[in-house]
Structure 1
Amino acid sequence: MRTRPAARAGQYAALLAYLAFLAFPFLWLVSVAFKPARELGSLHPTWIPEHPTLANFRQAFGEQPLLHAAANSLLAAVGAAAVAVVVATPTAYVMARRLTRAVSGWVVVSQAFPFVLVIIPLFLVLKNLRLIDSLPGLVLVYVVWALPFALWMLVGHVRAVPVELEEAAAIDGAGRLRTLVSVTAPLLAPGIAVTGLFAFVTAWNEFFFALVLLKSARKQTLPVVLTHFIGAEGVADLGPLAAAASLATLPSLVVFAIVQRRITGGVLAGAVKS
């Protein structure tokens, strides 16, 4: 009994250490973003800028169209998340209720193929559809790439929903579609939220497909524009790059903070018909 407080203290210490490990890159990125050029070249870097400045942010927004690129990334990420959720929800329901687990396994195996292996077939398909150098084409690629993992995630959530609820809805006269929309989908809210978050973050941070498929400067996404702060010889303009990169991480953090409440909510409370 006496070891419980010590064990709990150890757990909290380990959790704080893990949080510090996760937060370190972002905190250091923000610190670099506010440092002047002289501090960035110092042999003795400090955590907190001694002379904080907004010059890096002004230079970053002055040199590159960050707001326009962020808008392109936002459209692609939101579009990919929405389409992935709409397609994955009914498909995962069919896979969980009608198909075997082996089929779900084969869906996940498709994620093992590297980007380089699939980029040529995707490029040819988009070229035939005349979707090269367009945000809709990029959204289509993001949906295709995120869908296998999204299906794998949602299939597990569908299997966790009691079949008795669907049988009760069928006794009341509800069809398959009505059961999915009115009974099963509300109970899948945490899984749908996680799926949407996964698709959004994946599309927001994706670089390779956007680099290959988007040619026009006005259609480039934010990860591609961030590479413009690196010179031809590989020398990075560290201050403006850190400023732009720190702003690029904010949407993912905001979306996760919003979705987290839905994930941890007790959505199964009151689900059983009285």
Structure 2
Amino acid sequence: MSTATKPARGPAARTAARAAGRTGQYLALTAYLVFLAFPLLWLISTSFKSPQELASIDPTWIPREPSLDNYRAAFDAQPLLRSALNSLLVAGSASLITVAIAVPAAYVMVRNRSRVSRAGTVWILVSQMFPLVLIIIPLFLILRNLQLINSLPGLTMVYVVWCLPFALWMLQGYVKAVPRTLEEAAAVDGASRLTTLRSVVLPLLTPGLVATLMFSFVTAWNEFFFALVLLKTPEKQTMSVILTHFVGAEGVADLGPLAAASFLATLPSLLFFAFLQRRLVSGMLAGAVKG
């Protein structure tokens, strides 16, 4: 008993199916991007609205009469420029120091597999499970003995310690992707371990370095708890702490200046990512060609 076979799909049907699938992918990607960008777009729109428009029952997507009054009020109310410079100094220093420490440490942990390196990897994961409240008291006592309370160098040290475990975990995967044959060839040519790391491995780690640098910078820039506890005077506080000053004791915030200050606090991270994104893509392409 013969069974009926399905008719073969023609080229036009296959092309239509591919076009429909591609359209569905684009629609899903567009919806995802809109979902991610909506809070930022709403924040920007709020920062340009007048107090009367913010108090209106019917919200508006686009300000009817956009103005910079909220930005002027934000700068008049709090030292935003000084706090932004403090955050930039702390986050930039912490991210650079973290990457400088994490690169050789990750290389040693990957290439010299031993019980010590495996125990170090396990400790990296365990350290990320500690709640902040548990470590803030001993951390505060250590910094007090070092006379680094209420200082930007002390906060930078804390951020380095806080970002380093995850930076090590990220870079280990990139180091494992570097072929050992390249290092063996460099060793045959007489290169030392340090020379091999600097001249052979490091150029191939560009995507990992950029990704780790971005992660460390954004983490330090957005961090709030350590900065709140360790920094006391307003002239040394970071941007994340200054934003809380726009909220009153009863939780009532001046929404317009708060939105303006929040957008200004978000802008450096966006610019930093946009600046390093090209280097990340070019580093990935270069690593693929060299590999």
TM-score range, shorter chain: over 0.9
* 1:185-204 aligned within 5 A: 185-204=202-221
Aligned length: 272
* Partner residue of 2:290 out of 264, 271, 274: 271
In the other structure, the counterpart of 1:42 is 56
Q: Distance in 1 between matches of 2:126 and 2:54?
A: 44
* Amino acid in the other structure paired with 2:87: S
- Is 1:127 aligned to 2:150, yes or no? no
In the other structure, the counterpart of 2:244 is 227
* C-alpha displacement of 1:106: 2.8
In the other structure, the counterpart of 1:118 is 135
- Indicate the larger mover: 120-129 or 150-159: 120-129
* Partner residue of 1:137 out of 154, 157, 172: 154
- Is 1:105 aligned to 2:105, yes or no? no
* 1:226-265 aligned within 5 A: 226-265=243-282
- Is 1:149 aligned to 2:162, yes or no? no
* C-alpha displacement of 1:271: 2.9
Q: Distance in 2 between matches of 1:228 and 1:239?
A: 14
SS in 2 for 1:267: helix
* C-alpha displacement of 1:3: 1.5
* Partner residue of 1:33 out of 37, 47, 51: 47
- Is 1:208 aligned to 2:225, yes or no? yes
Q: Distance in 1 between matches of 2:277 and 2:75?
A: 31
Structure 1 gaps, min length 5: none
* Amino acid in the other structure paired with 1:85: V
SS in 2 for 1:249: helix
SS in 1 for 2:176: helix
* C-alpha displacement of 1:269: 5.0
Coordinate RMSD, CA, aligned? 1.1
* Partner residue of 2:179 out of 159, 162, 168: 162
* Amino acid in the other structure paired with 1:55: D
- Is 1:67 aligned to 2:70, yes or no? no
Residues 123-178 of structure 1 show CA distances to partners (whole Å, capped at 9, x for unaligned) of: 11111111110000000000000000000000000000000000000000000000
SS in 1 for 2:199: helix
* C-alpha displacement of 1:259: 1.2
Structure 2 gaps, min length 5: 1-13
Taking a change above 3 Å as real, the CA distance of residues 28 and 134 of structure 1, as seen in their structure-2 partners, is same
The TM-score normalised by the length of structure 2 is: 0.91
